């Protein structure tokens, strides 16, 4: 056994390989846990900030009392220094829309949730629900009366769209909404059938469309 001495005390220079491997394994496990924990914390904080940003965007639009605001103006107002306290209250951090695609994604999310209306191509307004017959009554226009052929065609278009491997829920949502308004039972049956396929992407699209058709809270 190799023995030396430091300050007159014997020291064993050999290291137990088993203990070393155990230490390395524990250290690696701890570092991985620390990394994943920080990553999940950052992801959760980011998600909370983005959710708060959506609520703040809605607050800004609601304050306009139905008057539209261009997307450029809305982003400028949201990022304004004087709105910092509001951003901290809603987002828990001084969240800013720094990239165009990030801001556009938030706008499309609000549109997806049915909370805003596009007024032209570059302006939006807070959506205020109206009675179904309000527009027809004030404009004098007759409401569209679908025929059975219209219903069959809508279902055919929906079925073909669902079978498209490149389709996503965003592109299909208007088709699904129209088909469901015309034939709720048949549309629901098609989405349930899609949920039972072995294709994970197709199942995910069907689930997202079902969520879109659920009553809004």
The structure's pTM equals 0.47
What torsion, rounded to 10 degrees, do the Cα atoms 52, 57, 62, 66 define? -150
**Among the listed residues 100, 125, 104, the one whose alpha carbon sits nearest the alpha carbon of residue 115:** 125
Q: pLDDT tens-digit profile of 125-149?
A: 888 754 444 444 444 445 567 788 8
Residue 5, classed as helix, strand or coil, is strand
CB within 8 Å of 165: residues ≥ 6 apart: 199, 201, 202
The predicted structure's pLDDT at residue 144: 63
Sign of CA dihedral 197, 202, 204, 209: negative
Q: Mean pLDDT across the stretch 107-111?
A: 87
The CATH number of 49-126 is 1.10.10
Nearest to 103 by CA among 62, 171, 54: 54
Sign of CA dihedral 124, 127, 132, 137: negative
Whether 36 shows a pLDDT value over 80: the answer reads no
Q: Which two tokens stand for residue 98?
A: 């720094």
**Residue 2 confidence (pLDDT) above 70:** no
* Tens digit of each residue's pLDDT (9 = 90 or more) over 12-34: 555 567 767 777 788 788 788 87
The set of residues, in sequence order, having a beta carbon less than 8 Å from that of 161 and lying 6+ positions away, is 167, 171, 172, 175
Residue range 145-169, pLDDT digits in tens:
778 888 888 888 888 888 888 877 7
Report d(CA 161, CA 183) in Å as an integer: 16
Separation CA 148–CA 51 (nearest Å): 42
Query: What average pLDDT score do residues 170-176 get?
Result: 82
Domains of the chain by residue range = 49-126, 134-213
Selection from 113, 124, 126, 115 nearest residue 73 by Cα: 124
More confident residue, 11 or 168: 168
Mean pLDDT of the chain, nearest integer: 79
Beta-carbon contacts of 36 under 8 Å, excluding residues fewer than 6 positions away, are: none
Cα separation, 4 vs 141, in Å, equals 101
Per-residue confidence (pLDDT) for residue 176, from 0 to 100: 87
């Amino acid at each position: 056994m190799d023995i030396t001495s430091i300050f007159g005390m014997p020291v064993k220079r050999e290291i137990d390989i088993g203990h070393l491997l155990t230490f390395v394994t524990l250290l690696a496990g701890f570092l991985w846990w620390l990394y994943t924990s920080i990553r999940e914390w950052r992801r959760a904080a980011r998600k909370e900030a983005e959710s708060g940003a959506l609520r703040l965007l809605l607050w800004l639009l609601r304050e306009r009392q139905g008057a539209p605001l261009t997307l450029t103006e809305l982003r400028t107002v949201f990022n304004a220094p004087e709105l910092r306290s509001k951003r901290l209250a809603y987002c828990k951090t001084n969240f800013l829309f720094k990239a165009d695609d990030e801001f556009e994604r938030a706008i499309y999310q609000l549109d997806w949730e049915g909370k805003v209306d596009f007024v032209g191509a570059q302006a939006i307004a807070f959506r205020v629900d109206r009675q179904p017959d309000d527009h027809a009554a004030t404009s004098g226009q007759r409401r569209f009366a679908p025929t059975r052929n219209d219903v069959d065609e809508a279902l055919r278009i929906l079925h073909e769209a669902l079978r498209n491997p490149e389709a996503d829920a965003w592109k299909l949502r208007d088709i699904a909404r129209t088909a469901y308004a015309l034939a709720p039972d048949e549309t629901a049956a098609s989405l349930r059938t899609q949920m039972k396929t072995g294709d994970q992407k197709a199942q995910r699209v069907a689930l997202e469309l079902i969520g879109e058709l659920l009553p809004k809270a």
